[in-house]
């Protein structure tokens, strides 16, 4: 029996139409385009303005895009994994709703939450299901409506985040392509540095928590930056060493799009030339669970069958890691 590997065979994506530029943010908080660009690399971000639409809408749109492009019957999907930090509701699974709405009626589904590492962890999970031999088509979606948890009077967070969704399909591969290795880690020391203080079981929602604005994301930017630079770079360097890869062997780095300086530090540790480092942070900002698949979506035409791709991410909690993947197809 041939060894099964789990390969990405299709990609989809979606971002809302509304563009929130740095120039517009200058009218909302005490900041400016030069300051934001020099420190983050972000010029604009997309915002889902419809109040009656949540993360599920973004995910559904990305999934439909993938299914249409790949000409796949949603009834063929065995499993849908929804990577998100902003589910529609605290209890009812967003992924379950998405699966039903796209017609994936034969799939089971659930949500996976690891902050900005959610999609990276989801890749590992999806691959494990495929490699078990029991599932043939696993749809992994990364989607977040970050505008729903951002305080637009807080200049330390509102300049960073945007809304969007990306999706990939994992299928069995017998040519040795797909996910090759992973290095995933977490550390609870990060619990207090990037969080939403209230609304969970520890601090339930009350009139006071709402009045005190404790339901939006807050972060200690300097601490998060320090940990992110170190851990993303360490994980990416380790995955290369463990697989005897040099910088020449790597075709593409697909990094989490949180901050250009973090991406530059990771690429620097890997000794990669700029042309191999894929970034769209300028257009979308940090879309959390959607950053990695949106990079794949934007740059899919560059990938060739057999390309070596290194993924890297860092998220609140703290969560982080790196994945080594061989690309499985040439875009038609």
Output DSSP code: residue 311.
Answer: E
Half-sphere exposure of 1 (CA within 13 A, CB side): 5
Q: From CA 99, how far away is CA 199, in angstroms rounded?
A: 26
Among 158, 216, 256, 259, the one annotated catalytic: 256
Q: From CA 305, how far away is CA 252, in angstroms rounded?
A: 13
Half-sphere exposure of 33 (CA within 13 A, CB side): 8
Q: From CA 94, how far away is CA 142, in angstroms rounded?
A: 12
Among 22, 116, 216, 259, the one annotated catalytic: 116
Asked whether the beta carbons of 23 and 33 are under 8 A apart, the reply is yes
- CA distance from start to end of the chain: 30
Q: From CA 311, how far away is CA 117, in angstroms rounded?
A: 11
Task: Give the H or E element holding residue 211.
Answer: helix 207-211
Task: Give the H or E element holding residue 25.
Answer: helix 22-25
Output DSSP code: residue 293.
Answer: H
Q: Which of 281, 283, 332, 326 is nearest to 305 (CA)?
A: 326
C-alpha pair distances (Å), 144 with each of 44, 85, 90: 16, 6, 14
Ramachandran region of residue 222, left (φ > 0), alpha (ψ -120 to 50) or beta? Answer: alpha
Annotated active-site residue 158? The verdict is no
Annotated active-site residue 256? The verdict is yes
Output DSSP code: residue 318.
Answer: T
Beta bridge partners of 80: 109, 139
Active site residues: 116, 256, 286
């Amino acid at each position: 029996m041939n060894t099964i590997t789990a390969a990405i065979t299709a990609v989809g994506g979606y971002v809302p139409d509304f563009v929130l530029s740095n120039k517009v943010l200058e009218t909302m908080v005490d900041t400016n385009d030069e300051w934001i660009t020099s420190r983050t690399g972000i010029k604009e971000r997309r915002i889902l303005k419809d109040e009656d639409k949540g993360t599920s809408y973004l995910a559904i749109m990305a999934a439909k895009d993938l299914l249409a492009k790949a000409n796949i019957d949603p009834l063929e999907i065995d499993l849908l994994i929804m990577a998100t930090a902003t589910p529609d509701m605290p209890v009812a699974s967003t992924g379950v709703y998405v699966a039903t709405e796209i017609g994936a009626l034969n799939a089971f589904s659930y949500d996976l939450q690891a902050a900005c590492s959610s999609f990276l962890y989801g890749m590992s999970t999806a691959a494990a299901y495929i490699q078990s031999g029991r599932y043939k088509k696993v749809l992994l979606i990364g989607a977040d409506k970050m505008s729903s948890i951002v305080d637009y009077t807080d200049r330390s967070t509102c300049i960073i985040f945007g809304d969007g969704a990306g999706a990939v399909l994992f299928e069995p591969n017998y040519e040795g392509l797909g996910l090759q290795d992973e290095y995933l880690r977490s550390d609870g020391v990060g619990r207090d540095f990037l969080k939403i203080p209230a609304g969970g079981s520890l601090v339930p929602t009350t009139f006071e928590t709402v009045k005190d604005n404790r339901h939006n994301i807050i972060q200690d930017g300097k601490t998060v930056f320090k940990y992110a630079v170190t851990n993303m770079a360490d994980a990416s360097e380790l995955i290369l060493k463990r697989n005897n890869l040099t910088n020449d062997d790597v075709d593409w780095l697909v990094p989490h799009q949180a901050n250009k300086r973090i991406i530059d530090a990771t690429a620097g540790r890997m000794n990669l030339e700029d042309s191999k480092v894929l970034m769209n942070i300028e257009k979308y900002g940090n879309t959390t669970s959607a950053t990695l698949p949106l990079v794949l979506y934007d740059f899919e035409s560059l990938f060739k069958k057999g390309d070596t791709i290194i993924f890297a991410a860092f998220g609140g909690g703290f969560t982080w890691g790196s994945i080594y993947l061989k690309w499985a197809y040439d875009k038609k």
